[in-house]
């Protein structure tokens, strides 16, 4: 082997060694980059999952608070006897819980479920019923009704807050439960027998019921 051959052989060895080193480095860098990207994707998914869980929990809390206020208001109104000694206290309880419910309905329900959702329509129907009931019982109390007149007012209140087979708040409970359970997919309409209940409630309250809140359910 000549000196030139030795030099060339040495250069080739260096080149091969360098290429091997560069190849290893490139593959390692690529593998590290892929690992970092995969780790970041997992972190994003974890953050997203935590955010979804937090938003779901938020809807559950708001729904529970709303239904608690609704139950308290209905129960107090159902218990009112206009000429009873505890009438003013029951009316105050109903008024306070109704005021809290109204705030939730006009604020958090709209924000969390959407202004055009079945949840918000059902809330508006509930508040129309409760508003009519409160006006009726306050007027009767201010008039000092007793006897048959007081009994008749109590009957009217119960007619407002109940139907033949269930309370209107059952519709509200179903709507909130379904909308919360299905989120992030929206509850687009009333379904099954609830659409007919909503239609009856619309007639009772005079609250317009958009076709889209029942038509979609009729096609399922």
Tokens of 163: 């139907």
DSSP strands (E only) in the chain = none
Which band of pLDDT confidence, cut at 50, 70 and 90, is reported for residue 176? very high
Q: What is the pLDDT of residues 124-175, one digit of tens each?
A: 999 999 999 999 999 999 999 999 999 999 888 888 877 545 678 899 999 9
| 177 Cβ contact partners less than 8 Å away, ≥ 6 residues apart | 63
pLDDT tens-digit series, residues 1-27 = 565 455 446 555 655 666 567 666 767
Which of these, 137, 142, 138, 110, lies nearest to 124 by C-alpha position?
Answer: 110
How far is 105 from 213, CA to CA, in rounded Å?
A: 18
d(CA 128, CA 120): 12
pLDDT band at 211 (very low <50, low <70, confident <90, very high): very high
Q: Convert the pLDDT of each residue in 47-64 to its tens digit.
A: 666 777 788 899 999 999
Q: Please state, for a pLDDT cut of 90, what percent of the chain lies above it.
A: 60
Structure tokens at 127: 């508040």
Round to whole Å and give the CA distance between 43 and 157.
55
**Mean predicted confidence (pLDDT) in 90-101:** 96
Q: Are 167 and 74 in contact (CB under 8 A)?
A: yes
Nearest in space to 58 (alpha carbons), one of 13, 125, 109, 8: 109
Between residues 45 and 74, which one has the greater pLDDT? 74
Q: Are 125 and 168 spatial neighbours (Cβ–Cβ below 8 Å)? A: yes
Handedness of CA 150, 126, 98, 76 (dihedral sign): positive
Q: Per-residue b/e over 150-178, b at no fewer than 16 CB within 10 Å?
A: beebbeebeebbeeeeebbbebbbbbbeb
* Lowest model confidence (mean pLDDT) among 42-51, 64-73, 86-95, 203-212: 42-51
């Amino acid at each position: 082997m000549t000196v030139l051959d030795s030099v060339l052989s040495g250069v080739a060895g260096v080149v091969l060694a360098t290429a091997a080193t560069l190849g290893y480095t490139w593959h390692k860098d690529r593998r590290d980059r892929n690992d970092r990207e995969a780790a970041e994707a997992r972190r994003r998914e974890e953050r997203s999952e935590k955010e979804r869980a937090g938003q779901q929990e938020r809807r559950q809390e708001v729904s529970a608070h709303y239904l608690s206020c609704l139950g308290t208001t209905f129960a107090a109104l159902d218990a009112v006897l206009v000429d009873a000694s505890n009438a003013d206290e029951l009316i105050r309880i109903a008024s306070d819980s109704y005021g809290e419910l109204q705030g939730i309905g006009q604020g958090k329900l709209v924000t969390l479920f959407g202004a055009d959702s079945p949840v918000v329509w059902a809330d508006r129907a509930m508040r129309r019923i409760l508003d009519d009931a409160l006006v009726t019982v306050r007027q009767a109390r201010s008039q000092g009704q007793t006897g048959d007149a007081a009994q008749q007012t109590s009957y009217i209140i119960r007619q407002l807050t109940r139907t033949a087979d269930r309370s209107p708040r059952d519709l509200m409970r179903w709507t909130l439960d379904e909308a919360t359970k299905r989120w992030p997919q929206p509850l687009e309409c009333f379904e099954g027998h609830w659409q007919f209940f909503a239609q009856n409630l619309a007639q009772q309250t005079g609250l317009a019921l958009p076709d889209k809140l029942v038509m979609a359910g009729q096609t399922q």
